[in-house]
Amino acid sequence: MTYTIFDLLRTSRRTSSFVDERVLRAIGRLVDGGHVRQAPSDAVIAAACLGDPISAVRRLAEAGVLPGELPDEQRRDLSARLSLGPNQLDSKAILANPSAVAVFLGLPEVRASAAAQTPTHATPAYGLFPHQRRAVVRARKLLRLGRTRLLLHMPTGSGKTRTTMSMVADYLRENEGRVVLWFASTRELLDQAAREFHKAWSLLGDRPVPIVSAWGGQDADLTDLTDGLIVASLQTVHARRSDPGFIPALGRRVGLIVFDEAHQAVARTYRSVVEQLSAAGQPVTPIIGLSATPGRTFLGGRSDEDLAEFFEHMKVELDTAAEGADNPVAYLIRQGYLAEPEFRLLGDLPEDDDPDSGDDDEPDDIGLDQDDYMQEVLGATLQLVSESHRRIIVFAASVQLAHSLAASLRAVGVLADAVDGTTAPELRDTAIRMYKSPAPIPRVLVNYGVLTTGFDAPQTSAVVIARPTRSLVLYSQMVGRGIRGPKAGGNRKAVVVTVVDPAVPAFGSIAAAFTHWEDLW
């Protein structure tokens, strides 16, 4: 059996000397008053009066109870615990090891808890890079000054969505009871926005808020919504413009409008709806546009001027002057936020494929028959595979060619899938999920008409632009799929194999493309 302090005090001749008379009288009154059924033993009262474990051991040692009144068996046991010989256990040894003796007597071990180290730094769970933080500060300042429209101009891959979601979270925390409306035109961008807000608000939010999806045929009830985020397609809201009072009622509850891929804001079909929503605000609801390419045409036509005018020529771009970089893209590449692209020309160009022509209609072909086209694209793609690129995106010239290219790659042992606008969602999602997997084996994703926006696969280190285009906007979007840098989970270098002549200004340099429309702003 365990030997305790109570055993020691029950047999000690000095037990009564440790009893506080005031405690003894108090216990007697408690018994007399019926508060306690019976009085505790003298040993229990004495142990209580001895105080904390260290004080108890010291008082017992000073009174000679320890080790003098310990039975022989316990004396030997305590000597062994203190690593002492049988004749070395005396009051001096007891007082030198009070905590160990207290434990021997069944009292709590006395030791200081390990002090938690005072934190020396804190890492945010939803942090922004310095260039993103500066953009947020600039945009918020303009909104506070009363600006109602501005364009956030950031290169593809530099974190436009994350940067803006930080601002959205700030707005919702400061304006409970108002709604943020996020516009985008594609399924990928809308899904990306909803997911990114969920992540941001989970870390930055201060209350539960709804995320309402109004796109892709989803029957969203926006009637009584007074908080949170609406992620809506332009088509869905435009289709309800004739509902009596719908636009004004929604506009009165929306406090901020975000327009992703902002070059679409001036499209005749949607512009009036967005302007009506903004004008219905109390006061006018600010509109923040997002774009990597703040223009619509290569040569800066009337539609480019309309875009600049729509956003009141107010453009917030990355400020990298503090880092000694005039061009933000060059800075982002140098710092590892974007990959450094190497442009390679694919095949022979058609004679009229000249961006300087001022014709923004897409060319019908790339000047090759289909067999030659297949040979050129397959050869370029297999070359990239041989160079150890693990994830490659191919933008094909048609739906049929996309599927033929993927089939040919599979036939020669390369994992490849094809997706287009008609691909069933479950098949497209499966192909994208497999492409994004961390498996080290090379995989190619061939597509037509999709994946130019809202598709984020940082592992992609090579892009094959095998469809002709005179649109610098579309071209930049395609290039952007493969230029995530190491700080964004991507690669230090990337290869862009393109049918568009990279010798043409702005089509062979993402830095030049970024500043192409600067004069309009």
Angstrom distance (rounded) from CA 65 to CA 70: 7
Q: Which of 90-104, 398-412, 496-510 has the lowest mean pLDDT?
A: 496-510
Architecture of domain 130-319: 3-Layer(aba) Sandwich (3.40)
Phi first, then psi, for residue 53 (nearest 5°) are: -55, -45
What number of other Cβ atoms are within 10 A of residue 103's Cβ? 16
User: What is the model's pLDDT at position 63?
Assistant: 94
pLDDT digits (tens, 9 = 90+) for 197-232: 999 999 999 999 999 998 877 767 787 889 999 999
Q: Are 327 and 514 in contact (CB under 8 A)?
A: yes
Give the pLDDT mean for 102-106.
94
Q: To 5 degrees, how large is the angle CA 33–CA 38–CA 43?
A: 125
SS3 helix, strand, coil % of the chain, rounded to 5? Answer: 45, 15, 45
Task: Identify the sign of the CA torsion 155, 157, 158, 161.
Answer: positive
pLDDT of 511 over the 70 cut: no
User: What is the model's pLDDT at position 193?
Assistant: 94
With CA atoms as reference, report the closest residue to 255 among 167, 181, 194, 164. 181
Phi first, then psi, for residue 437 (nearest 5°) are: -65, 155
Q: State how far the alpha carbon of 261 is from the alpha carbons of 23, 138, 270, in Å.
A: 80, 20, 13
pLDDT of 77 over the 90 cut: yes
* Residue for token pair 């508060």: 35
Between these two residues, 164 and 250, which has the higher pLDDT value?
Answer: 164
Q: Are 290 and 260 in contact (CB under 8 A)?
A: yes
Mean pLDDT of the chain: 86
User: Which of the four pLDDT bands, split at 50, 70 and 90, describes residue 469?
Assistant: confident
Q: Which of 3-7, 123-127, 354-358, 468-472 has the lowest mean pLDDT?
A: 354-358
Angstrom distance (rounded) from CA 162 to CA 428: 25
With CA atoms as reference, report the closest residue to 81 among 64, 56, 62, 98. 98
Angstrom distance (rounded) from CA 95 to CA 110: 14
pTM: 0.71
- Amino acid sitting at position 105: L
Give the residue extent of every domain in the chain.
5-104, 130-319, 338-520
Q: Which residues contact 294 (CB under 8 A, 6 or more apart)?
A: 151, 153, 262, 263, 307, 308, 315, 517, 520, 521
Between these two residues, 398 and 158, which has the higher pLDDT value?
Answer: 398
Residue 57 is inside which H or E element, if any? Answer: helix 53-62
User: Which of the four pLDDT bands, split at 50, 70 and 90, describes residue 26?
Assistant: very high
User: What is the model's pLDDT at position 368?
Assistant: 67
Angstrom distance (rounded) from CA 75 to CA 69: 9
User: What is the model's pLDDT at position 513?
Assistant: 67
Burial group, residue 138, by CB count within 10 angstroms (0-12, 13-18, 19+)? middle
* Residue for token pair 């160009």: 349
* Residue for token pair 């071209």: 475
* Residue for token pair 């453009």: 315
Q: To 5 degrees, how large is the angle CA 294–CA 396–CA 292?
A: 15
With CA atoms as reference, report the closest residue to 286 among 316, 244, 320. 316
Angstrom distance (rounded) from CA 274 to CA 266: 9
Q: Which of 127-136, 332-341, 424-433, 447-456 has the lowest mean pLDDT?
A: 447-456
With CA atoms as reference, report the closest residue to 396 among 443, 464, 332. 464
Give the pLDDT mean for 43-47.
94
Angstrom distance (rounded) from CA 157 to CA 134: 17
The CATH superfamily assigned to 338-520 is P-loop containing nucleotide triphosphate hydrolases (3.40.50.300)
Q: Do strands 211-214 and 179-184 pair parallel, antiparallel, or not at all (unpaired)?
A: unpaired
pLDDT digits (tens, 9 = 90+) for 270-318: 888 888 889 988 788 999 999 887 765 655 566 778 888 889 889 898 8
Domains 130-319 and 338-520 share a fold: yes
pLDDT of 339 over the 60 cut: yes
- Amino acid sitting at position 516: H
* Distance between first and last Cα of the chain: 89
